[in-house]
Structure 1
């Protein structure tokens, strides 16, 4: 019941997120330097190719704004985690009807960790949307960015905890499948955190 409730909440949030951003996404990169800005920004991340491929379509939205780029990167990471959490939820139900108990436990723990990551990334995105509000000074900006950095770091840790939970599970298709998917998700979260750190280092919104 708890798993179904969490999945329902995740599905509702993702639908809201998708509708909100549907009109913002672009399918091509502008020729006025917006694409170059995203590429140069992505070069500071651990996975620059993944970063640029996933964010370049939002060039018209970002417009060489590091804060907006960080917000978009967080949004993309959130959608990736949500999709993976939904997928693993289905795998946990399959594991309940077959497979090793160790594998089933690792799946359940992984889903729980990804659910925590969704909450933390969602909190980061909410905080990012509040940055730059009227009257917000440098002290407020640094405090808010510290919150975002903390939550994004926690989300990345939760994702790593998911894959770590499979270390004692014998090699099998489920282990390989889930670990590959979550490892891919970690790239988006890591990139978003790097862009957040870059934005925070500027000291002002």
Structure 2
């Protein structure tokens, strides 16, 4: 009799515990859903601030110092209201855009290398992967410099690191296309690789130019 009572008590306890967990899970899901809906409504009611003429002029003037000003302006003008006239934000944005392109291309090359026997393709995967790592390091370094003042020794040292890494990323990308151009036979695959990596090179070159401007002129 005592054994049955204990079993019944334990069963009730386990049932209550299970119900409590289900209630907790349901509550969490409800709150997450509510938060998502609220954010969505807020985004619709309060669209991003429209850039001013001064914001756009800053982007265009800055992009005119790069090798590919049209590519630069087209890719960055949509963020003018967030950048305003801040060269640090512009440098970070440019690296972020270049990094996104490089990651996309690295994924394409990695997929291609699984069915391509060419050593040049495999080397290119490694080169672009290294470029991605260099850009990640550059972006991380810039984000850690939010409270550094231009002219400070620490600022100059850290900016030197960013310049070195971005330059290395561009070199990695050029090494990729050089290898493919020299070692692969002409064809669709070769053309596709060179076109995609050349696109990344343009963005990386622009990002490096904007980083150099920030390093030389500061905020």
Shorter-normalised TM range: 0.7 to 0.9
Paired residue for 1:108, among 114, 122, 125? 122
Q: Deviations over 1:71-115 (max 9, x none)?
A: 0000000000000000111111121xxxxx4xx211110011111
Range with bigger deviation, 187-196 or 164-173: 164-173
Q: Is the 8 A contact 1:118 1:155 kept in 2?
A: yes
Paired residue for 2:171, among 153, 157, 172? 157
Q: Which has the larger radius of gyration?
A: 2
For the pair 1:75 / 2:90, whether they are aligned, the reply is: no
Q: Which has the higher helix share?
A: 2
Q: Is the 8 A contact 1:29 1:57 kept in 2?
A: no
Unaligned runs of 5+ in 2: 1-42
CA distance in 1, matches of 2:67, 2:148: 34
CA distance in 2, matches of 1:94, 1:28: 46
Q: Deviations over 1:93-145 (max 9, x none)?
A: 121xxxxx4xx211110011111111100000000011132688611111010
Q: Is the 8 A contact 2:76 2:94 kept in 1?
A: yes
Alignment correspondent of 1:52: 73
CA distance in 2, matches of 1:112, 1:134: 34
CA distance in 2, matches of 1:38, 1:60: 10
For the pair 1:199 / 2:214, whether they are aligned, the reply is: yes
Give the TM-score of the pair, scaled to structure 1.
Answer: 0.79
SS at match of 1:133: coil
CA RMSD of aligned residues (A): 1.9
The Cα shift of 1:28 comes to 8.1
Give the TM-score of the pair, scaled to structure 2.
Answer: 0.74
